[in-house]
């Protein structure tokens, strides 16, 4: 007898498919209160002047990055069930029976080592998710004040990588379970690590044009950056798959390309994203990258005056302008001018 997969059970026998369990929209700041009235909201990210987790409603976080070009500043993540909020240790978390969104905010004391703070935070997050019904972290965002600053003789991004590596490498086969990630720099206090986890194992996707970050040579960091280029989510009972694309930059192989040239970096970054989409499409017998639309994008870049060339090049991607947020941020290598992350639904 042929054993049916979950997908066949739902789409074949029951002959119905549910919507993707996550949908992202952008909204204006005036709408925050009314948005949070919806009990399906798992996370609302308000790009503003501070980094914080809201005291009254831990579904709402502020991230201290300025939006540019009239981008709508609130990214709203809707799930499909009623959300409840909780706290455990330093982690504020929100769940809906399918998915969990958690936030760990670190107040950085003057005298501390970033690598130790990050190691402790990642150990706390790993232990926490393993104690829940949502053990599979598929997406993580790291917001780090002064990410390029040299401290104790080393760039803070490198210290961050050392701490993350120390925590995650405690797990056997840790390279096979890495989430999609972003690591960007803010100008305001507060390190925030936000993560999404669920019951479904993410499928790790690497980029054919890039060396996997976990195999970078040590020149970029004494301990390699631990993240996947993207993760493909095969949600139970849902025909559409979702691809969560990590922060992607103008890196080919492991080297930065086009130092000092924003347009060329933006184009190279788009080629990297297209390569990921092509590869996933081919592997899954789905549409080619040309036909795939990106459902949402965050575009982080260093210099606000470079908005126009960035917007011009990103505008050629198949994504509706109303689903793009442009953000002023530091990128984790000094010679990188921008980084793009996004989500795409594959039918």
Active site residues: 339
Which pair of tokens denotes residue 238? 């849902």
Pairing of strands 41-47, 60-63: parallel
Nearer to ligand 3EB, 35 or 211 (CB): 211
Nearer to ligand 3EB, 267 or 339 (CB): 339
CB of 341 vs ligand 3EB, minimal distance in Å: 7
Nearer to ligand 3EB, 36 or 166 (CB): 166
DSSP annotation of 10: I
Give the contact letters, 249-288, x = binds to ligand 3EB (CB under 6 A), - = no. x-x-------------------------------------
CB of 148 vs ligand 3EB, minimal distance in Å: 12
* Segment 172 to 231, residues that bind ligand 3EB, using CB under 6 A: 181-183, 213, 225, 227
347 C-beta neighbours (distance < 10 Å), count: 9
Give the contact letters, 129-168, x = binds to ligand 3EB (CB under 6 A), - = no. -------------x--------------------------
Q: Which of 220, 183, 178 is nearest to 202 (CA)?
A: 178
Whose CB is nearest to ligand 3EB? Answer: 247
CA gap 128, 338 in Å, rounded: 32
CA distances from 53 to 56, 59, 102, 169, 345 (A): 9, 8, 10, 28, 29
Q: What are phi and psi of 145, to 5 degrees?
A: -60, 140
Nearer to ligand 3EB, 67 or 182 (CB): 182
Pairing of strands 294-301, 324-328: parallel
The correct pick among 190, 198, 247, 342 for binding ligand 3EB (CB under 6 A) is 247
Q: Which of 226, 177, 182, 228 is nearest to 201 (CA)?
A: 177
CA gap 91, 122 in Å, rounded: 11
Which pair of tokens denotes residue 335? 């010679």
287 C-beta neighbours (distance < 10 Å), count: 13
CB of 253 vs ligand 3EB, minimal distance in Å: 11
CB of 87 vs ligand 3EB, minimal distance in Å: 25
Give the contact letters, 28-57, x = binds to ligand 3EB (CB under 6 A), - = no. ------------------------------
- Residues in contact with ligand 3EB by CB under 6 A are 142, 181-183, 213, 225, 227, 246-247, 249, 251, 332, 339
């Amino acid at each position: 007898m042929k054993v049916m997969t979950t997908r066949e059970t739902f789409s074949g026998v029951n002959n119905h498919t549910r919507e993707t369990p996550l949908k992202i929209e952008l909204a204006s700041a005036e709408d925050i209160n009314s948005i949070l009235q919806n009990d399906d909201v798992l996370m609302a990210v308000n790009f503003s002047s501070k980094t914080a987790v809201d005291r009254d409603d831990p579904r709402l976080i502020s991230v201290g990055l300025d939006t540019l070009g009239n981008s709508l500043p609130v990214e709203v993540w809707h799930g499909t069930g009623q959300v409840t909020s909780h706290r455990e240790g330093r982690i504020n978390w929100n769940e809906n029976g399918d998915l969990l969104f958690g936030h760990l905010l670190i107040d950085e004391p003057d005298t501390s080592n970033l690598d130790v703070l990050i190691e402790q935070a990642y150990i706390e997050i790993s232990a926490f998710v393993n104690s829940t019904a949502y053990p599979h972290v598929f997406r993580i965002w790291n917001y780090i004040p002064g990410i390029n600053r040299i401290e104790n003789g080393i760039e803070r991004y490198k210290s961050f990588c050392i701490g993350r590596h120390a925590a995650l490498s405690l797990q056997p086969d840790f390279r096979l379970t890495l989430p999609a990630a972003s690591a960007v720099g803010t100008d305001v206090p507060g390190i925030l690590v936000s993560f999404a986890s669920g019951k479904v194992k993410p499928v790790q996707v690497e980029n054919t044009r890039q060396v996997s970050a976990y195999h970078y040579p040590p020149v970029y960091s004494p301990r390699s950056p631990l993240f996947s280029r993207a993760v493909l989510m095969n949600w139970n009972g849902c025909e559409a798959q979702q691809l969560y694309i990590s922060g992607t930059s103008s890196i080919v192989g492991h080297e930065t390309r086009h130092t000092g040239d924003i347009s060329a970096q933006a184009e190279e970054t788009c080629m990297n994203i297209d390569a990921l989409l092509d590869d996933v499409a081919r592997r899954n017998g789905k549409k080619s990258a040309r036909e795939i639309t990106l459902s949402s994008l965050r575009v982080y870049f260093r210099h606000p005056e470079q908005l126009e060339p960035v917007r011009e090049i990103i505008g050629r991607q198949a994504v509706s302008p109303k689903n793009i947020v442009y953000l002023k941020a530091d990128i984790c290598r000094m010679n990188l001018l921008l980084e793009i992350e996004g989500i795409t639904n594959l039918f």
